Every structure is written in structure tokens, then in C-alpha cells.
């Protein structure tokens, strides 16, 4: 039975967890693919510690907003005419409080004994010199199930947070549903009131937005009710993508990321088949009848299984990943910890913490679309 001192055991378990969390493609061991999580983590930005909030300066108002039209208009003049001046004061701060997240596991010394490993609470490293690489591998094999479990559980938890609106756990980050909302004509997002700052609204084609437009027709400029997919007249969804792209790019956004539920993507595929638009990826080389990945203006429309799990299989989010992004505290994302055991418990603890928030610098370049 191999005997491991606590320092060596600490080294092995820490190295094993680090290897497991960072090997290969992010979370490839996950049961479900998590493309939103992979996209956000691969493109995340960082900020230094010591700040209470993540603050992004945004601007959607111009001129003298206190007294529009008085001294902020371009006018002609002659000779010694009196002219006026105004002081621009239109910067607005989008405020995103950073949040902390924790997930931990523990292994008892009894479990290690069952695998033929004895732990010595000693700082003397002399009796570890005879341990072979095979002994270390035995320990890693024991940890494999626990490490797989915590990495998948972390992936599930963070992925779900990135999709939801933060209401279920106010101490955790608020995800896509808090930024790209079903009714963008109302609500306060990052401290900015969408009722008065119309430039801070996303676009939406949802049942809730259809109801809002029915009550306030002016909101129709930002969307409407759910879309009824149809193959006629070039395809209802295909046509909507084209018209929405014009609206999303109106203020400088370049939408490049789209995640969809299975029913939404299936409806788009049906419209594409019916209109006979096949690429070399489909109907090529014999019996392959696949349509292939569907793209529009450089955006691949990608299936995200989490939307199905959340009951949103008929939904699609389309946005510019340069405008909506994950911001992590420097050196504090997927930070691994090895707490000392308490003297009254023979237990090994390992944990993962992440500190940050999902942020946005522009929202009028994003849209949520539902189908009937």
C-alpha cells in the first residue's frame, strides 16, 4: 500500500485538477455541447481587481440633451451675427457588478485507502522518494471520476448562468437573457433605463414583444411578435434574417454569432431545402443529402442544446460577439484552490472559483427571434 505525505498528495491532486480543467478543447468531456460557454470563455476580456464594478462608457445621445434645439444646431451666419455654443455632456456609464462563483469537491482519506493509498500528515518529503510514476497514476485514476464530475458540473453551472437572466441567483452573474430581453422597450439594464434610452434596446421577435407592440405601436421599430416560418415567397425566416441584418448593422454592429434551438434551426433548414439553395456540403458526391451549416453574412447559425433544455427550442439569439462578452477578473477565472483540511476531518478539499460578469458595450446590434 503506497504511503503519500500530505505535501505530495497536495501536489498530485492540484496538478491532476489543473490538467483535467485545461486539457484539449474546453469541456470536451461534457455530456452536452456548450457552444455559448466555449465562445464566451475563448473571447473573454479581463479587468484588474480592486474595483467594485465593471464600468463601460457608452454613448447614444448627442447635442444639448438638457435643452435640445437651442444652441446645438448647425446654422448659417453672416458678418457679425451672434453665434451660440453648447457643452457636450452625453457619456453614460453601463455598470456591471462583478460576481463570484464557487464549486468544490472533497475526498476522504477512507476513499483513498480503498484504492490502496495511505496519507501521512507530515511535512517530511524523504519517504516520498521511492514513489514511482505508476503510483501517481493510480492516484490520478482514483481522482478521474471526481475530476470529471466537477469539471462537467462547473461547465453546466456556468453555461446555465450565461443563458439565464440572473434572477434565480442574485449573487451570480446575469446572462444573455438579462441583456437581450424579450421586451426591450422597458427595464433597466446595467443601470441604463431602456424606456428613455432607446439606443440601449436590443431587437426582439417574441410573444411578449408582440403584446407590447399591440399596446404601444411605436415599439414596432424594435421588432414584433413571433415569426411564423413558411417556405413560400423565399422563406419567412430567410427573409427575416435579411431584413434584420439591415437593422442590426444600422449603428455599426456586425453580427457574427448566432445560437439556436433545434426547432428554430430545423425550420430554417426546411425553408432552405424548399427554396433549392444547396451548398457543396449538401447533395454532393452521391447520396449525402445534408444541408450543411447554414450561414448568413459570415454568421454560422449554430445549434445550442441548452436552449432546448431551457424550453427555448424555437428561439435564436443573433449578436456581435465584440459587443457582448464575458469579462473576468485577472487571474480569477477558473481559479483552482487547495484548502488545508481541518484537524477534525480526514478530508481533501479542492475547489474552483470564477469572478466576473457578462457585459455589453452595445445592444441594438443584437436580436432574439422566436418562431411559432
Phi-psi category of residue 79: left, alpha or beta, with phi > 0 → left and psi -120 to 50 → alpha = left
Is the model's pLDDT at 181 over the cut of 80?
Answer: yes
CA distances to 59, 129, 182, 266, 350 from 121, rounded to whole Å, are: 59, 16, 56, 58, 17
Is the model's pLDDT at 141 over the cut of 80?
Answer: no
Is the model's pLDDT at 23 over the cut of 50?
Answer: yes
For residue range 269-324, list pLDDT tens digits in order: 999 988 865 555 554 455 566 677 899 999 999 999 999 999 999 999 999 999 99
Q: Give the list of residues 6+ apart from residue 156 with CB closer than 8 angstroms, or none.
A: 30, 34
CB burial of residue 289 (10 Å; 0-12, 13-18, 19+): exposed
Q: What pLDDT does 128 receive?
A: 30
Is the model's pLDDT at 22 over the cut of 80?
Answer: no
Is the model's pLDDT at 122 over the cut of 70?
Answer: no
Q: What pLDDT does 2 receive?
A: 54
Q: What pLDDT does 154 receive?
A: 92
Is the model's pLDDT at 262 over the cut of 70?
Answer: yes
Q: What pLDDT does 152 receive?
A: 85
Q: Where are the domains of the chain?
A: 3-62+91-370
123 pLDDT band, cuts 50/70/90, is very low
Least confident of 153-157, 237-241, 278-282, 331-335: 278-282
- Give residue for cell 436580436: 367
CA distances to 269, 289, 369 from 286, rounded to whole Å, are: 20, 8, 35
Least confident of 39-48, 220-229, 331-340: 331-340
350 pLDDT band, cuts 50/70/90, is confident
36 pLDDT band, cuts 50/70/90, is very high
66 pLDDT band, cuts 50/70/90, is confident
166 pLDDT band, cuts 50/70/90, is very high
Q: Give the list of residues 6+ apart from residue 344 with CB closer than 8 angstroms, or none.
A: none
Q: What is the mean pLDDT of residues 154-177?
A: 95
Q: What pLDDT does 131 receive?
A: 41
For the chain, give the percent of residues with pLDDT over 70.
79
- So what's the architecture of 3-62+91-370 in CATH? Alpha-Beta Complex (3.90)
Q: What pLDDT does 59 receive?
A: 92
For residue range 190-246, list pLDDT tens digits in order: 999 999 999 999 999 999 999 999 999 999 999 999 999 999 999 999 999 999 999
Q: What is the mean pLDDT of residues 35-47?
A: 95
Q: What pLDDT does 127 receive?
A: 33
Phi, psi values for residue 327, rounded to 5° = -120, 120
Amino acid at each position: 500500500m503506497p504511503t503519500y505525505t500530505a505535501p505530495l498528495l497536495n501536489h498530485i491532486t492540484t496538478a491532476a485538477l489543473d490538467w483535467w480543467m485545461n486539457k484539449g478543447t474546453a469541456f470536451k468531456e461534457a455530456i452536452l455541447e456548450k457552444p455559448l460557454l466555449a465562445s464566451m470563455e475563448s473571447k473573454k476580456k479581463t479587468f484588474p481587481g480592486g474595483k467594485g464594478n465593471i464600468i463601460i462608457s457608452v454613448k447614444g445621445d448627442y447635442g444639448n440633451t438638457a435643452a435640445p434645439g437651442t444652441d446645438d444646431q448647425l446654422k448659417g451666419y453672416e458678418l457679425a451675427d451672434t453665434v451660440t455654443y453648447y457643452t457636450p455632456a452625453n457619456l453614460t456609464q453601463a455598470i456591471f457588478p462583478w460576481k463570484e462563483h464557487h464549486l468544490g469537491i472533497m475526498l476522504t482519506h477512507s476513499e483513498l485507502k480503498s484504492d490502496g493509498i495511505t496519507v501521512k500528515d507530515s511535512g517530511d518529503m524523504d519517504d516520498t522518494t521511492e514513489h514511482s510514476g505508476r503510483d501517481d497514476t493510480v492516484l490520478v485514476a482514483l481522482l478521474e471520476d471526481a475530476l470529471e464530475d466537477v469539471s462537467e458540473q462547473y461547465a453546466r453551472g456556468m453555461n446555465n448562468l450565461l443563458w439565464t437572466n440572473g434572477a434565480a441567483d442574485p449573487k451570480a452573474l446575469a446572462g444573455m437573457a438579462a441583456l437581450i430581453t424579450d421586451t426591450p422597450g422597458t427595464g433597466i439594464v446595467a443601470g441604463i433605463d431602456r424606456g428613455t434610452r432607446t439606443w440601449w434596446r436590443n431587437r426582439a421577435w417574441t410573444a411578449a414583444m408582440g403584446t407590447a407592440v399591440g399596446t404601444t405601436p411605436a415599439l414596432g421599430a424594435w421588432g414584433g411578435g413571433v415569426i411564423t416560418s413558411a417556405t413560400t415567397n423565399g422563406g419567412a425566416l430567410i427573409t427575416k434574417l435579411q431584413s434584420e441584418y439591415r437593422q442590426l448593422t444600422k449603428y455599426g454592429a456586425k453580427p457574427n454569432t448566432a445560437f439556436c434551438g433545434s426547432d428554430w434551426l430545423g425550420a430554417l433548414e426546411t425553408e432552405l431545402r424548399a427554396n433549392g439553395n444547396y451548398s457543396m456540403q449538401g447533395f454532393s458526391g452521391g447520396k449525402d443529402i445534408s444541408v450543411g451549416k447554414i450561414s448568413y453574412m459570415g454568421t454560422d447559425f449554430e445549434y445550442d442544446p441548452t436552449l432546448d433544455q431551457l424550453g427555448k427550442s424555437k428561439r435564436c439569439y443573433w449578436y456581435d460577439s465584440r459587443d457582448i462578452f464575458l469579462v473576468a477578473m485577472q487571474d480569477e477565472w477558473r481559479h483552482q484552490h487547495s484548502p488545508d483540511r481541518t484537524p477534525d476531518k480526514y478530508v481533501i478539499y479542492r475547489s474552483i472559483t470564477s469572478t466576473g460578469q457578462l457585459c455589453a458595450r452595445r445592444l441594438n446590434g443584437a436580436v432574439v427571434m422566436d418562431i411559432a
